[in-house]
């Protein structure tokens, strides 16, 4: 999978820590599972709905998959779809763009707006 962008959803605290430290070891779920969970563009909304419903102050972090090398594996997960999983730490230098994830009037995150914003910054 070349020229593919993968996305990580982070809360503001994790994003600030990532920027300060220059490396992301993973969220608690990542550490428990042994890899950093990412989503492809078509998977971001489902990830937000399933794991982050209504959570405030979220960022969408875009990473070019090729920058992650062989530690990035595409594995079967939710609904039989292939999801990107990183079996390494994530370097800040791998980030190509970020965008805040807004909530709509119903309190649902709007993934499409953040993905478009990240594409503009890539």
pLDDT at position 42 is 93
Domain that holds residue 112: 5-121
pLDDT at position 46 is 93
- Which residues have CB under 8 Å from 12's CB, separation 6+? 57, 58, 59
62-113 per-position pLDDT tens digit: 999 999 999 999 998 878 889 999 999 999 999 999 999 999 988 889 899 8
- Token pair for residue 77? 């997960």
Work out how many domains the chain is built from and give that number: 1
CATH number at residue 77: 3.20.170.20
* Residue 33: strand, helix, or coil: helix
Share of the chain above pLDDT 90, in %: 76
Confidence (pTM): 0.92
pLDDT at position 91 is 96
């Amino acid at each position: 999978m070349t020229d593919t962008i993968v996305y990580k959803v982070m809360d503001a605290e994790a994003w600030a820590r990532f920027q300060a430290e220059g490396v992301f070891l993973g969220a608690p779920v990542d550490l428990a599972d042994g890899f950093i969970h990412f989503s492809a563009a078509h998977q971001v909304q489902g990830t937000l709905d399933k794991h982050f419903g209504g959570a405030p102050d979220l960022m969408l972090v875009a990473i070019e998959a090729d920058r992650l090398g062989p530690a990035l594996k595409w594995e079967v997960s939710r609904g039989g779809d292939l999801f990107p999983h990183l079996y390494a730490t994530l370097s800040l230098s791998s980030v190509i763009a970020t965008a805040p994830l807004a909530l709509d009037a119903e309190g649902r995150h709007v993934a499409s707006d953040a993905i478009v914003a990240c594409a503009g910054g890539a």
